[in-house]
Chains A and B, each alone.
Chain A
Amino acid sequence: MPAIEQRGRLWAVLLPPALWLSVLLVAPLLLLCAFSFRLGIGGSLFGGWIATLDNYRTLAANPSFLELLGLSAGIACVVALVATLLAYPVAYYLVFRVRARAGVYVALLLIPFWISYLLRVMAWKVILGSGGAVNAFLLWLGVIQEPISVFFYSRYAVVITLIYVWTPFVALPIMATLYRIDRSLLEAAAGLGATPGQRFWRVTVPLSLPGVLAGAVMVFIPTVGEYVTPLLVGGSTGAMYGNLIQDFFGRSANWPLGAALAVVMLVGTLVLVGATSRISRVERFFQ
C-alpha cells in the first residue's frame, strides 16, 4: 500500500494517545521540575520568577526530610516483601491446586476492593482501636488495665494496613508468573526422582523469581509515595514522605519546596525501576 496512506493511518491512531500523554503526563512532570527551581508562591504565581537552587538547598539542610524518604522506602520494602511472601502460597494454591476454577477464587479475593478502601480501614479501627473489639476483649480478660493504642495511630499500623491491602493484589502477578512455568520441566524433575519439596524449591521458585520480583516492585512503587494510609492510621508518628509533599501543597502552602521534594522522589523511583528492569519486566506479564 502507498507509504503516505500508511503514514496517515499511523498518525490517526498514534496522535490521540501521544497528544493526551504529552499534555497530561509529560508536561506536568516537566512543570514540576521547573517549579522546584523557584521560591514561594507570593507575587504572580507563574510569571517573573528567578531560578534558584534554594529549595534543594533547604532539602539538603533538613536531613530529616530525606531520612523520611529513606524510611518510607524502607517501609515500602518491608510491605512489598512481606506481602509477596504472604501472597505466594495463595498464588501457588490457585495455580497448582485449584487450577480450572481459579476464576471464582480470584474474584472472591477481589470483591472487597470494590468497596471503599477508606471504610475498610475505618472498620479495622473498630477492631483494633482503643474502643474496639480486641481491646475490649483484653480488658475483659484482665490482661491489660488500659486500652492499648499502638495498634492504631502508629507506624506499625501503617505497615500492617499496607501489607493487609497489598497481599491479595500481589497474588495476581505471581499467579501469572506461575502459570507460565513450563510444566514439562516439573515432570522432568519428577522423572529424575525429585521430591515435591525439591521440585518446588529447585524448579518452581527460581523460575518464578523474576516475575515475583516484578510483582514486588509493583507494590513498592505506589507504597513509597503513599500518603493516604498514614493519614488514616498513622497518627503523629506514622507520617510518610508523601505526607510531606501533600502538606507543602496543601495546609503548609509552599508549592516549590513540595515540588522539589516530589522531584527527588520521582528521580529516585525511576532510578530504582531502571535498575531492576533488567531482572524483571512488568510488561512480560501481559504477553
Chain B
Amino acid sequence: MERQIGRWLVPATLVALVVLACGGEKKQPATAALTPESTGTLTVLDWAGYEDTSMFIGFHHKYPKVTVSVAFGESDADIFGKMKAGADACTFHIYTGWQPFYVRDSLVQELDTTRLSHWAEVPARFKALGQVGGKQYFVPWDWGYTSILYRTDKVPGGIDSWTALFDPKFKGHISMWDDGPGAVTVATYVKGWDETKLSEQQLAEIEKMWTDQRKLNRFYWTGEPELVQGMAAGEIWVAYAWQGAYNTLLGQGVPVAYAQPKGGRNSWVGLYGIAPACKDKDLAYAFLDEKLSSEQGVGLISAFAYGHVNPAAYKSVTDTNIVKALALNDPTVLDRTRFTPIVSEADRDHFGQLWARVKAAQ
C-alpha cells in the first residue's frame, strides 16, 4: 500500500500544483485603449481599509474585469521600505512628509496629468503638495486629521488636550498608534516644541514621556480596524486616531467623540504615486483618475469621513453632521491645523530608534 501511495504521490502533487496555479489569475497585457472588456491586474500598495471595492468604485464599474490586487503597508516607513525593496506595486499610497524621498530614490515617476480627466477639478493647494521641485509626481487624494478619539460613556467629562493620552485616569485603556514619528509629533504638541529642531535633551524627555506612558497603554494599534475592534469592545477608551475610526464606530452605534485638543489637531494629506517599473501604466492612470472623481469622493467621505480633494464631492454627501463636525467642505481648515513637517531621514531614524527603545524598555 505504501508503494502505491509513494508511486502516485509525486505525480499527484504535481497535478494538484498545476491545477491550483492555473486556477489563479492570468496576467494579460492591458491594451492601449481601455474598454469595459479589458482584463488584467492592477497592483496597489495601500493602507488597511482601502482594499475594499468601494474605495475605487468608479474604476471597478468602468473596467469590471480588471482585478485590483492590494498589498498592505502599516506605516509610511513600511511602505517606503517595501517600495525600495522592489515591491510588486504599480501604484502606492503615501502621506505628506515623504514625497521628496521617493523622488530622490527614483521610486516614483513624473506624472502626465493630461491623462487624468478629473485633474482640473483638484484645487491648486492639493496639487502643490504632490509636486517636488516644481514637477508633478503625486496625485493627492484624501486628507484628514489626527486627534484623540474617546468613548463618551467611559469619559463623560470629555477630552480637550493631548495630555489625555498620558493621563493615569485611563490606565489600561489607552491605545497609541505604533509609530515613532507620530509619537514624537504628539509629544511636541504637548510640550509646545518645534519638531524639526529638537535637542538631545528634548528627545530624551520625549522618550521618558512615552516610556512612562507604556504602563497606561493597553496595546499599540497598527491598523485602524484593530483600533475600531478594541474601542467597540470597550477595551480602549482613549486613543490616538484618524477620523476614519470615529466614523466607523459611529456607524456601529458606539458612543464616541473626536476631540478638538488645545494643541490643535494634526492634519495630513494622502497621495498616490505611480512606480517607474509599473507595466500597466494605463490601468494605473485610469485607477487614479477615477479616484479623483466626485463620486469616489462621496464614497470616501461617507465611509471614513476623510476629506477628498475634489470639492464637487462635498455637496453630495448625505450625512451633513459629519461634514460639519469635521469641516470637510472647507479645505482651508487645513491652513488652521498643523501639518506634520517634513523631517530629515536622520531625524526619522532617531525617532524610530527612540520608539524602539520605548517598546524595549524593561
- Select the stretch in A79-87, A158-166, A247-255 that faces chain B: A247-255
Complexed CA–CA distance, A250 and B359 (Å): 15
B235: A residues at CB distance < 8 A: 129-131, 149
B234: A residues at CB distance < 8 A: 130-131
B345→A253 contact, CB < 8 A: no
B178: A residues at CB distance < 8 A: 251
Q: What is the distance, in angstroms, from B154's C-beta to the closest C-beta of chain A?
A: 11
Option from A62, A248, A254 in Cβ contact (under 8 Å) with B357? A62
In chain A, what residue has the closest Cβ to B101? A42
- Select the stretch in A202-210, A236-244, A266-274 that faces chain B: A236-244
Tally A residues with Cβ within 8 Å of B.
34
Q: Using a CB-CB cutoff of 8 Å, which residues 342-357 of chain B contact chain A?
A: 345, 349, 352-353, 355-357
B356→A244 contact, CB < 8 A: yes
A153 at the binding interface (Cβ < 8 Å): yes
B357: A residues at CB distance < 8 A: 62, 64-65
B5 at the binding interface (Cβ < 8 Å): no
Complexed CA–CA distance, A74 and B275 (Å): 45
User: B209-243 CB contact bits vs A (8 Å, 1 = yes)?
Assistant: 00000110111101000000000011100000000
Given contacts A42-B345, A45-B84, contact A68 B360 (CB under 8 A): yes
B74 at the binding interface (Cβ < 8 Å): yes
A243: B residues at CB distance < 8 A: 359
In chain A, what residue has the closest Cβ to B81? A253
A252→B345 contact, CB < 8 A: no
B84: A residues at CB distance < 8 A: 41, 45
A255: B residues at CB distance < 8 A: 81
Complexed CA–CA distance, A118 and B81 (Å): 26
Complexed CA–CA distance, A236 and B217 (Å): 6
Given contacts A130-B235, A131-B233, A236-B214, contact A41 B356 (CB under 8 A): no
B10 at the binding interface (Cβ < 8 Å): no
Option from A58, A153, A239, A254 in Cβ contact (under 8 Å) with B359? A239
Complexed CA–CA distance, A247 and B77 (Å): 10
B80 at the binding interface (Cβ < 8 Å): yes
A40 at the binding interface (Cβ < 8 Å): yes
Complexed CA–CA distance, A250 and B81 (Å): 7
Tally B residues with Cβ within 8 Å of A.
36
B110 at the binding interface (Cβ < 8 Å): no
In chain A, what residue has the closest Cβ to B357? A64
Given contacts A67-B360, A250-B74, contact A235 B80 (CB under 8 A): no
A257 at the binding interface (Cβ < 8 Å): yes
Q: What is the distance, in angstroms, from B247's C-beta to the closest C-beta of chain A?
A: 23
Complexed CA–CA distance, A129 and B235 (Å): 9
Complexed CA–CA distance, A255 and B355 (Å): 15
A43 at the binding interface (Cβ < 8 Å): yes
Option from A43, A239, A257 in Cβ contact (under 8 Å) with B360? A239
A254: B residues at CB distance < 8 A: 349, 352-353
A253: B residues at CB distance < 8 A: 77-78, 80-81, 352
Given contacts A64-B361, A149-B235, A250-B81, contact A43 B353 (CB under 8 A): no
Complexed CA–CA distance, A29 and B217 (Å): 36
Complexed CA–CA distance, A117 and B47 (Å): 25
B220→A236 contact, CB < 8 A: yes
A33 at the binding interface (Cβ < 8 Å): no
Of listed B85, B233, B353, B355, residue having the most chain A CB within 10 A: B353
Option from A40, A129, A244 in Cβ contact (under 8 Å) with B349? A40
Option from B81, B218, B355 in Cβ contact (under 8 Å) with A153? B218
Complexed CA–CA distance, A237 and B171 (Å): 13
A263 at the binding interface (Cβ < 8 Å): no
Complexed CA–CA distance, A235 and B131 (Å): 39
Complexed CA–CA distance, A65 and B357 (Å): 7
Complexed CA–CA distance, A45 and B220 (Å): 30
B179→A251 contact, CB < 8 A: yes
Complexed CA–CA distance, A208 and B24 (Å): 50
A121 at the binding interface (Cβ < 8 Å): no
Q: What is the distance, in angstroms, from B4's C-beta to the closest C-beta of chain A?
A: 22
A149: B residues at CB distance < 8 A: 172, 218, 235
Given contacts A64-B362, A130-B235, A251-B178, contact A41 B81 (CB under 8 A): yes
Q: What is the distance, in angstroms, from A53's C-beta to the closest C-beta of chain B?
A: 16
Q: What is the distance, in angstroms, from A261's C-beta to the closest C-beta of chain B?
A: 9
A134 at the binding interface (Cβ < 8 Å): no
In chain B, what residue has the closest Cβ to A239? B359
B335 at the binding interface (Cβ < 8 Å): no
B105→A42 contact, CB < 8 A: yes
Of the A-B pairs whose beta carbons lie under 8 Å apart in the complex, a sample of 21, sorted by A's number, is A40-B345, A42-B104, A42-B105, A64-B361, A65-B356, A67-B360, A130-B234, A131-B233, A131-B235, A149-B235, A236-B214, A236-B220, A237-B214, A237-B215, A239-B360, A243-B359, A247-B356, A250-B81, A251-B75, A252-B355, A253-B81
Seen from chain A, the residues whose Cβ lies within 8 Å of a Cβ on chain B are: 40-43, 45, 58, 62, 64-65, 67-68, 71, 129-131, 149, 153, 234-237, 239, 243-244, 247-255, 257
Other A-B pairs, 13, CB within 8 Å; known A131-B234, A251-B74, A252-B75: A41-B81, A41-B84, A42-B101, A42-B345, A129-B233, A129-B235, A149-B235, A153-B219, A239-B359, A247-B359, A250-B78, A252-B352, A253-B80
